[in-house]
Amino acid sequence: MYALLTILSLASTGLAYQITYPGPGVHWSCTGPNPITWNGLATDPTSFAVVLVNDKYGTADVCAPLLYGYTGQGAIYPPYGRAQFIPGDGYHLNIVQDYSHPEIILAQSAMFSIDQCNAYPPPVHQPSAHPPPPPPPPPPPAFSALPHIPPQIPEPSQLMHELGDAVAR
């Protein structure tokens, strides 16, 4: 039924937008962001949303609620509330009228896959042609590193004597 609605929706819009990436053989990263590119006409809507669809899993998630047609490209992040995309094959993207109307499809990408998160090896550190900079100098000593000098507090009798001398003058 969903496939029939998709076909009818695509037929009614005339397919002015065309998704140029991703396509067959493309493998997206499960963590994203992943690129999308498209071509369009001046008569196309100025903005739209992008829905990630997998008929095999029965999923359709808005992953870009607002993109502008004139840019020709965008970044697709995992759906709101998820840290990553669900790995697997059989995915495609739909450019739709807006996030409130995912059934009004303006364009559809070819099928592509999303890789497992651990499918990518960790980055390999390549030595640089330049040596690393020297370490910074040590910080100056903290206030607590200064020697402790106890305050010189006179005896109360000495204070009274000095006070009396000052009053007498």
Q: Give the start-to-end residue ranges of the domains of the chain.
A: 23-114
Quick one: pLDDT at residue 132?
A: 63
Quick one: pLDDT at residue 89?
A: 93
The Cα–Cα gap between 111 and 95 comes to 14
Residue 139: band (very low, low, confident or very high) from pLDDT cuts 50, 70, 90 = low
Average pLDDT over the chain, rounded to an integer: 80
Instruction: Tell me the two tokens of residue 137.
Output: 């100098």
CATH pick for 23-114 out of 1.10.3470, 1.10.1060, 3.30.450, 2.60.40: 2.60.40
Q: What pairs with residue 38 in β-bridges?
A: 19
The Cα–Cα gap between 75 and 34 comes to 5
Closest CA to 53 of 44, 61, 45: 61
74 pLDDT higher than 90 = yes
Q: Are 47 and 71 in contact (CB under 8 A)?
A: no
Quick one: pLDDT at residue 7?
A: 46
Tens-digit pLDDT profile for residues 28-63: 999 989 999 999 999 999 999 999 999 998 999 999
Of the chain, the percentage scoring pLDDT greater than 90 comes to 53
Question: For residue 94, what is the enclosing H or E element?
Answer: strand 88-96
The Cα–Cα gap between 169 and 167 comes to 6
Tens-digit pLDDT profile for residues 98-130: 999 999 999 999 999 999 987 455 555 455 555
Q: Are 109 and 24 in contact (CB under 8 A)?
A: no
What's the rounded mean pLDDT across residues 134-161?
63
